[in-house]
Amino acid sequence: MKTAQDIYRDLQSSLGDVLPDAELFIKAEVAAEVLRLKVERDAVILGHNYMEPALFHTVPDFQGDSLELSRRAAETDKSVIVFCGVRFMAETAKILNPTKTVLLPTEKGGCSLAESITAADVRVLREAYPGVPIVTYINTYADVKAECDICCTSSNAAAVVESLKSDTVIFLPDEFLARNVARETGRHVIVPSVLRKGAVAANGDDTTVEHTMIAWQGRCEVHELFTPEDVDVVRKQYPDVMILAHPECSPEVTAKADFSGSTTAMIRAVERSKAKRFLLLTECSMGDNIVAANPGKELLRLCSHRCPHMHEITLEQTRDSLQFMRWEIDVPEHIRVRALRAVERMLAVGPKID
Ligand code: 13P
Ligand code: SF4
């Protein structure tokens, strides 16, 4: 097992340009304690791409986007899963692993998209559009997944929609992701309003048009803040920049970017590109993580928009999570079995090749 000294040396070579030595030394001590507890508890640690650099580069057994980490959660034989991400991700791990202990290193770990829709909203839509398949973005809670037919993530959303072979599809709850996927799959989007149980208003949109995607008004509180003007201003200042936008950004922003894809797809695109300078329109920590792994690349920073939920997870919180076995994720069995159908159906579709 790596000692604090080993970890300190590794961190110095990967993060020496991002974090001062004094900080690296403290982080190395904490990371060594996490690694010790991980063995003691028979745990696997899954780290989302947005985790702070000192955590991301030390303790996760697996790093990745939502889809990759769901697949890792489905495959693990460890008794404990520590999910360094937000609550909906840890819930997905629990849905796939009912007999294992799943820990989230924060009590909250919310997400504005997951909070934008309830199970009752989905039931209203189901009643209003009978027979129309319902796709839910993985950024939802288990009770919402339980009401839907299939899940998707940002890396397989278009493949999931196309797998349904249905002219009309309900796609929840991220309106911008829905609009981006609709553009990719040649669909027309409507955003109805839920009026009361069993009724929706189509807001003047024609629901009889072919190839329709019925969307919801959910937004990611981080990605909705990036604007087409941000893209224009950065391009004017740095004409050689490659701009990458997460598909939770508005379609006006993704249309102006050079690339749009999941967090891992963005990382791979930066690694593959010959460009020297990049701008990521997503949570800022990911830029630091990419620079640490690719020292020759320059990442411009638009760091005013951060995800406060992802930032609740730190190395220290991860250590405490393993030490005190907190905070345990619980999904009631009657909800879990229904949500599992939607998650397993997504995993069977397979990832989009980026
Ligand atoms: P990814 O699945 O692309 O990692 O996205 C998760 C997320 O919450 C982005 O904000
Ligand atoms: Fe949710 Fe947005 Fe944070 Fe991702 S970045 S976890 S979508 S609030």
User: For position 201, what pLDDT does the model report?
Assistant: 66
Q: Which residues line ligand 1 (CB under 6 A)?
A: 49, 65-66, 139, 153-154, 220, 246, 248, 262-263
Q: Where are the domains of the chain?
A: 4-111+310-324, 114-218+333-349, 223-299
Regions in the chain scoring below 70 on pLDDT: 194-209, 350-354
- How many C-beta atoms lie closer than 10 Å to residue 345's C-beta? 18
| Angle 165-66-302 from CA coordinates, rounded to 5° | 115
User: For position 18, what pLDDT does the model report?
Assistant: 79
Which CATH number applies to 223-299? Answer: 3.40.50.10800
Percent of the chain's residues with pLDDT above 70 = 94
At a CB cut-off of 8 Å and minimum separation 6, what does 101 contact? 79, 80, 81, 325, 328
Output the CA–CA distances (angstroms, integers) from residue 317 to 15, 21, 33, in the order listed: 20, 21, 12
Architecture of domain 114-218+333-349 in this structure: 3-Layer(aba) Sandwich (3.40)
User: For position 352, what pLDDT does the model report?
Assistant: 45
Q: Report how far ligand 1's centroid is from the alpha carbon of 65 (Å).
A: 6
At a CB cut-off of 8 Å and minimum separation 6, what does 44 contact? 38, 61, 62, 72, 76, 78, 80, 81, 82
Q: Report how far ligand 2's centroid is from the alpha carbon of 157 (Å).
A: 16
The candidate with the shortest Cα–Cα distance to 18, out of 311, 299, 309, is 299
The candidate with the shortest Cα–Cα distance to 173, out of 205, 131, 143, is 143
The reply to whether ligand 2 has any atom less than 6 angstroms from the CB of 112 is yes
Ligand 1 nearest-atom number relative to CA 48? 4
Q: Which of 221, 246, 303, 312 to mutate to test the pocket of ligand 2 (most atoms within 8 A of CB)?
A: 221
Four-way CATH pick for 4-111+310-324: 3.40.50.10800, 3.40.50.2300, 3.40.50.1100, 3.40.50.10240: 3.40.50.10800
Ligand nearest the Cα of residue 309 is 2
Q: Do domains 4-111+310-324 and 114-218+333-349 have the same CATH topology?
A: yes
User: For position 354, what pLDDT does the model report?
Assistant: 43
User: For position 204, what pLDDT does the model report?
Assistant: 59
- Which tens digit of pLDDT belongs to each residue from 114-162? 999 999 999 999 999 999 999 999 999 999 999 999 999 999 999 999 9
The reply to whether ligand 2 has any atom less than 6 angstroms from the CB of 313 is no
Residue nearest to atom 6 of ligand 1 (CA): 66
